[in-house]
Structure 1
Amino acid sequence: MVSSCQNISAAYIHQINSQTIDLPVDSQPYISIPESEYLELKNQVGYWKSMHQKALLREEGLKQEIKEKDGQIRDLKNRLFGKKSEKKTSKTEKVNPKSNEPKRPRGQQLGSEGHGLTDRPDLPVVDEQASFPENPVCPCCGLPYTLDGSTGPQTQIIEVEVKTYTRRIVRQTGTKTCLCQGVPQTITAPMPPKLMPKSPYGISVWADILLNKFHYCQPTNRLLNQYEELGLPISAGTITGGLKRLKELFDPIYNNLYLQQMTEDRFHQDESSWKVFEEIEGKIGNKWWLWVSRSESVVYFLIAPGRGADVPISYFENTRKDKIIVVCDRYSAYKSLANKMPFIILAFCWAHVRRDFLDAARKYPELEDWAFCWVKKIGALYHINNQRCVSFDKALPVQWQSESFKKQHGSLIEKMNEMAQDRDAFIESHNLDGTNSTLLFNAKYKILESLKNHWDGLSVFVEHPEVPMDNNKGENAIRNPVTGRRNFYGSGSVWTAQLAAMMFSIFKTLGLWGLNHHHWLNSYLNACAVNHGKAPEDLSYFLPWEMDEVRLDKLSKPLDTS
């Protein structure tokens, strides 16, 4: 046996380098190396193989990370620069091969009959006479026309006049003509009621400030600039002091909104951030939260320092109902609310589920067809439910509804079952042992797993047709305050934030009942002025659910200032 330490002879190496040797096909030259070197090389082969495998895995992970980052970039670019809409058309829907007709433009079509001038019966009419600037004469002979006082066709021009003025009140006095003792010799007519005894500004000014700031969401500084251009300079400190006084007048209305809402059993919940620039002990930062609760007759806003479940839990602790349905998104605070209060049923929003699929299609173009297939399924649910609700009678339970309702109800249940089967088929056909842990699969799995986990809440509308499929009512209610937050960046103190929540609640509730904000606000502030600057004792004239039809109709019309 040749020793392992024996080397190839130099003559043999020279022979190989200097001439061609015809070797059999299967024969290979052998090189003898020390055994220790052989074992070391063998170990290195295993090491470098494992390192190569790790490099491949790392490269695959980096590719997945790049793809995920690209998806996030596409999503953020769309949010920042894209259209502010969830509507998106897939590649297969962009072209309709069965029709070559051009897409119908939006709005009124060219050549179609218009609706004509809109009647405005609530506007007062001010008559004016249009006269000739000079006596008209015949252009041929120069003889004058006879102006007999007759009039021609009428022309209407709508104007808006905004002006400021000073009410100079001259109080009438009287002198007694009798000889009665203990009676003043001279008496003076009483002053008209004032909202704030020491303030020179009348009710119309404070009503305009409240409407502009909390209904039209204009910054106070912009309103002050407008007043200055109208010849009425007012300092910001004067406005702040007046608003602090007004907050006390609206507290009773605000409390009655809450008490009324606690008698109802259908709610839409949402929340949004709100800045409060005041340092509070135990509170870090200036980020607070504006919560909204919309029921059938009331929209109620609440300002809170946090976004935890303690806010809705404390809010619903005074409810008078044994069962409540809350339409909301999938935020964990609402889930904690339902766990703490079992009589509360959460109805999750289908619009958020639809948004999950749209976001996936936007982030990962490879998932567009799959995502829009599910969006189409959700659209079919909306369509069937809308047809079902047309024939729904709120006075009857589901089992006693009409045949038309039962037909659509059955179709809705069938469609829901089909979606659940498709969802479960995907989840069950893929395991998570690593063989399917790709980025695209994980994106699909995450959406469908969430759909399965929230299915009970997403199915509440099936047996409760009065409950909508989405939380659009709640999100629409908070849209105006969010506009205000963007315009004037929140509130400078806690009490101003509370006033904002108070006025948002009042104005949104008035809009829910179709009342004119300007008319209601002036009526209420006048009642406060009559009551010597305090809230009236009887609030039934100002709470919409306690008004009769005559008063509701009166307050729904513009305020007559003539």
Structure 2
Amino acid sequence: MATFDATHQCEWRERAEELERENRALKERVGTIESQLALLQRTVFGRKSEKLPRVEDELRKASGNAPRPREATLKERRLKREAREALPERLIHHRVPEEARRCPSCGGMALKPLGPGTRTELFEHVPAHVERQVHLQETLACPCGAGIVTAPAPKAIEQGKYGPGFLAHVVTAKCCDSIPLYRQAKALARAGVPVARTTLCDVFHEVGWATAPLASRLLDLVRESSRVNADETPQRVLDEGKTRRAYVWTFRTDELIAYVHSASRSGVTPLEVLGGTQGYLQVDGYTGYNRVTLPDGRVRVGCWAHVRRKFFDALPTAPESGTALDFILALYGVEHAARDSETLGSPEHLHARRTTSARVLEQLATWVDEQLPLHPPKSPLGMALRYTKGQWSALTRFLEDPSLPLDNNAAERALRGMAMGRKNYLFVGNDKAGQTLAGLASLVATCEANGVNPEAYLADVLMRLGSHPAARLDELLPHRWRPSSASSPDSS
């Protein structure tokens, strides 16, 4: 009888343990589903204020809404004033009407000018226009009657029907302002220049072909850089009446931005661009970059902005995520203090990182280890904790070098233009068209990163590419470009 009871007790204990495991698994699953549902509801129906706040706003709030440094405000005002003063000026004289040319006091008519007059400034928009240029090419004949010499005709591309300014405007409008070619065709028609969308597409790709050596060289310089930021975003490609997913990758340095179109998100593209190179590569946790960083490739640097986003997303279902956000905000506080004191990248900045930032990291690591066993792996907070733990070596790499930023926001900003264009033109015609777009967008984005007007740059470079020595191609890259000193053609 005792043996029978012992056997049943053992079976009941095993059954109880099994039910306890099932109950625990069900609780984790329900918790995960509830967290995902809360995140989905906040994403779809949430208020605008529930978006991830900017680090600058959070730091200002933490410091009691301290105003921006006066020097920064004055500098912004000065730059805006200088930009306005650099605008072309046109004087428009306004005469006093005849019926008003009488003294309001005595009624006399002998009024005389008083100084240059009252000055009122208005900023007016002058609509762009397209003109039909007629270039007269000088023709010379020899008295012998056998020799004739004619001045070359200006021609930016092979067809030669459209001038460099027109071509530069079309490319800049699409790559910089995300205006699809069919919308540009409508705008040109309103200006009295009916141009078919297919024609604009043809000239766009001809410009891409003409400037391909520049885009290729720009990518080579990015590859040679000791520090590169990288990221990727989807792009749709037309394929047999439907679209398929492709990707646009950005590889950038402080002054260069290069895009690469790829048919997939595999690690082949980063390997082709950065394989065999040395230095730092700052990216998120995507494993597609492993082939560049492992085993003896570039040193991987993590992105604290991605970590911050994951903990912020977990906040509605796990309020303890706020602790991690406070730690991360403290890391950014060190960076902003260095920026305000103009010591970014200096030994003083590195010392602050290795003291203040290192202490914050130590506290955050302890907190992560404490929280890991308490949350289901697939819950928002569980995933944030595991992402942070798995990326810890890359996330703490910024302690080695003061020039390494805390996040990969530079690469993400570089992709905003491509993401905006994707919303407007929806897809590219094929992979070759995607490569052309990537090459032209690289030149335009690098112009913007260096304060160069992309329209002026492209208009000048298109005229110089044909005769420029290949050995001096770097002179025509956006960050090294200087406008041509040649005068405009005689229009008389």
Give the TM-score category using the shorter length: 0.7 to 0.9
- Kindly tell me the number of residue pairs found equivalent between the two proteins: 463
**Number of the residue aligned with 1:527:** 464
**Number of the residue aligned with 1:215:** 176
**Number of the residue aligned with 1:421:** 366
The secondary structure found in structure 2 opposite 1:247 is: helix
Tell me, in whole angstroms, the C-alpha distance in 2 between the residues paired with 1:234 and 1:276: 25
Deviation at 1:279, TM superposition (A): 5.0
The secondary structure found in structure 1 opposite 2:231 is: strand
Tell me, in whole angstroms, the C-alpha distance in 1 between the residues paired with 2:359 and 2:108: 88
Tell me, in whole angstroms, the C-alpha distance in 1 between the residues paired with 2:190 and 2:343: 55
**Number of the residue aligned with 1:288:** 246
Work out whether residues 515 and 552 of structure 1, in 8 Å CA contact, stay in contact via their aligned partners in 2: no
Equivalences for residues 26-425 of structure 1 within 5 A? 64-82=28-46, 83=48, 85-87=51-53, 118-119=81-82, 120-134=84-98, 136-138=100-102, 144-146=109-111, 151-169=116-134, 171=136, 180-182=143-145, 190=151, 192-196=153-157, 198-278=159-239, 286-317=244-275, 319=277, 323-339=278-294, 341-362=295-316, 364=317, 367-368=318-319, 370-387=320-337, 401=347, 406=351, 409-425=354-370
The secondary structure found in structure 2 opposite 1:481 is: helix
Work out whether residues 208 and 437 of structure 2, in 8 Å CA contact, stay in contact via their aligned partners in 1: no
Same amino acid, percent of matched pairs: 22
Tell me, in whole angstroms, the C-alpha distance in 2 between the residues paired with 1:393 and 1:104: 21
Q: Say yes or no: does 1:539 pair with 2:473.
A: yes
Tell me, in whole angstroms, the C-alpha distance in 1 between the residues paired with 2:293 and 2:451: 33
Q: Say yes or no: does 1:505 pair with 2:442.
A: yes
Tell me, in whole angstroms, the C-alpha distance in 2 between the residues paired with 1:73 and 1:105: 39
1:360–1:148 distance in 2 versus 1, CA, 3 Å:
closer
Deviation at 1:329, TM superposition (A): 0.4
Deviation at 1:518, TM superposition (A): 2.1
- TM-score with structure 2 setting the length: 0.80
Tell me, in whole angstroms, the C-alpha distance in 2 between the residues paired with 1:371 and 1:298: 36
Q: Which runs of 5+ in 2 are unaligned?
A: 5-9, 56-60, 71-75, 486-492
Deviation at 1:286, TM superposition (A): 1.4
Q: Which runs of 5+ in 1 are unaligned?
A: 1-38, 40-45, 90-94, 109-113, 431-435, 555-562
Work out whether residues 275 and 288 of structure 1, in 8 Å CA contact, stay in contact via their aligned partners in 2: yes
Work out whether residues 353 and 399 of structure 2, in 8 Å CA contact, stay in contact via their aligned partners in 1: no
**Once structures 1 and 2 are overlaid, which stretch shifts more, 376-385 or 247-256?**
376-385
Q: Say yes or no: does 1:466 pair with 2:403.
A: yes
The secondary structure found in structure 2 opposite 1:515 is: coil
Work out whether residues 171 and 189 of structure 1, in 8 Å CA contact, stay in contact via their aligned partners in 2: no
Deviating above 6 A after TM superposition, structure 1's stretches of 4 or more consecutive aligned residues are 46-60, 103-106, 139-142, 172-176
Tell me, in whole angstroms, the C-alpha distance in 2 between the residues paired with 1:324 and 1:501: 24
1:152–1:374 distance in 2 versus 1, CA, 3 Å:
same
Tell me, in whole angstroms, the C-alpha distance in 2 between the residues paired with 1:461 and 1:155: 53
Deviation at 1:246, TM superposition (A): 1.3
The code of the aligned residue for 1:416 comes to L
Tell me, in whole angstroms, the C-alpha distance in 2 between the residues paired with 1:308 and 1:217: 27
Q: Whose radius of gyration is greater, 1 or 2?
A: 1
Tell me, in whole angstroms, the C-alpha distance in 1 between the residues paired with 2:368 and 2:113: 85
Work out whether residues 391 and 405 of structure 1, in 8 Å CA contact, stay in contact via their aligned partners in 2: no
Tell me, in whole angstroms, the C-alpha distance in 2 between the residues paired with 1:489 and 1:199: 30
The code of the aligned residue for 1:286 comes to R
Tell me, in whole angstroms, the C-alpha distance in 2 between the residues paired with 1:348 and 1:68: 26
